[in-house]
Amino acid sequence: MITARQLVKTYPGPDGSTIRALGPLDLQVAAGEFVCIVGPSGCGKSTLLRLIAGLDQPTSGSLEVGASQPVLVFQGDSTFPWLTVHDNVEYPLKLRGWSEPERESAVSRQLALVGLSDFAEAYPYQLSGGMKQRVALARAWVSDPQVLLMDEPFGALDEQTRVVLQNELLKLWERPQRAESPTQRKTILFVTHAIDEALALADRVLVMSSAPGRIVHELRVPFARPRDPIQLKRDPRFGELAYALWQALKP
């Protein structure tokens, strides 16, 4: 679904210098795969997601994305404060020109899936951090994209809320629901700085190095699905895998 070869992104630096934000990076993500990327701050994780989302162009190398319009969920609170919960979730459907009846049915279904039906008319300032992230999740999910790119979506949440949201994301994803291919799960590329989060969510964890940002380690996560992020921590393999990732992250 996503193939990058020798992908490089540079930016002009001060005094005519060049800042290499990413690469050369090789990456392959299969359709329906859930891949987490961990790596030190500044190694180019956001840059990679922006390139895949088409918000930025690579400086060199090749990038193929086998789906139209991947959806990117940004870090932190990405809700629109001037729109209600309903209108936040409806927004991408308006952009895509969906009719009103189609929008209404998709939005109410999606709000029910993330447990926000009773808050449809609330504004983001009336919601907790976890609820705002649920709105962001619903807004990303509602247009049924094949590819979802998530940039530390739960990074600003407290530990307990983070685990609840991980659980909800897994429930959404593990239950295949794409209209045109009901057996196919979405392809998710999820950036996180939290090793336990990567192990709870991913089929495969990729570790990126800093300067130059490239993939230096890959780990297949053996846990069966459906997963429960809390129960997983009791699995004796969890500690071993977390340790292996810490080792790979060592500077």
State the residues that interact with ligand ADP by CB under 6 A: 11, 19, 21, 39, 41-47
Residue 78 beta carbon to ligand ADP: minimum distance, rounded to whole angstroms: 15
CB of 179 to ligand ADP, least distance (A): 32
Smallest separation, CB 226 to ligand ADP (Å): 30
Q: Which residue is nearest to ligand ADP (CB)?
A: 21
Query: How many CA atoms are closer than 13 Å to the CA of 240, on its beta-carbon side?
Result: 8
* Smallest distance, ligand ADP to C-beta of residue 19, A: 5
The least CB distance from residue 72 to ligand ADP, in Å, is 12
With respect to ligand ADP, which residue has the nearer C-beta, 4 or 43?
Answer: 43
Reduce the secondary structure of the chain to three states and give it as a string: CEEEEEEEEEEECHHHCEEEEEEEEEEEECCCCEEEEECCCCCCHHHHHHHHHCCCCCCEEEEEECCCCCEEECCCCCCCCCCCHHHHHHHHHHHCCCCHHHHHHHHHHHHHHCCCHHHCCCCHHHCCHHHHHHHHHHHHHCCCCCEEEEECCCCCCCHHHHHHHHHHHHHHHHCCCCCCCCCCCCEEEEECCCHHHHHHHCCEEEEECCCCCCEEEEEECCCCCCCCCCHHHHCHHHHHHHHHHHHHHCC
Smallest distance, Å, CB 10 to ligand ADP? 9
Among residues 130 and 212, whose Cβ is nearest to ligand ADP?
212
Q: Which is nearer to ligand ADP, 7 or 116 (CB)?
A: 7
65: Cβ–Cβ under 8 A, 6 or more apart, which residues?
A: 1, 2, 52, 54, 147
Identify which of residues 119 and 154 has a Cβ nearer to ligand ADP in the complex.
154
Q: CB-wise, 42 or 176, nearer to ligand ADP?
A: 42
107 vs 245 by CB, closer to ligand ADP: 245
